[in-house]
Amino acid sequence: EVSAHCWPMELTFRAFVGTTICALLSRAMLNFCGTDMKAFVLYEWSPQQHPWDWCDLPVMVLIAGTLGPFSAVHTWACLQVGSL
């Protein structure tokens, strides 16, 4: 796999600058139109006091432990198909 640590420093800098400029332009256009990011939220915007509790942690660990191996199998299958 190719990841960011394999990129040349110049490409990493260009990706960072491009992403930053796009984020700033997006914010500027939203301000120009008189709206904010909440207008694009597809779910209800109502922050909760406690979005999770400690009793949720074992369930999430169980889900991660169950579905984690499927990630490895999926990557292996994609590599096998890609090598055909």
Q: What is the pLDDT of residues 28-53, one digit of tens each?
A: 998 898 888 777 777 766 777 777 78
**Degrees, nearest 5: CA angle 6-9-12:** 80
Q: What is the pTM of this model?
A: 0.44
> Helices marked H in 1-84 — which ranges?
9-33, 56-82
What's residue 25's pLDDT?
A: 94
What residues contact residue 38 under an 8 Å CB cut-off, 6+ apart?
A: 45
Alpha carbons 36 and 43: distance in angstroms, whole number: 15
What's residue 12's pLDDT?
A: 82
Alpha carbons 78 and 75: distance in angstroms, whole number: 5
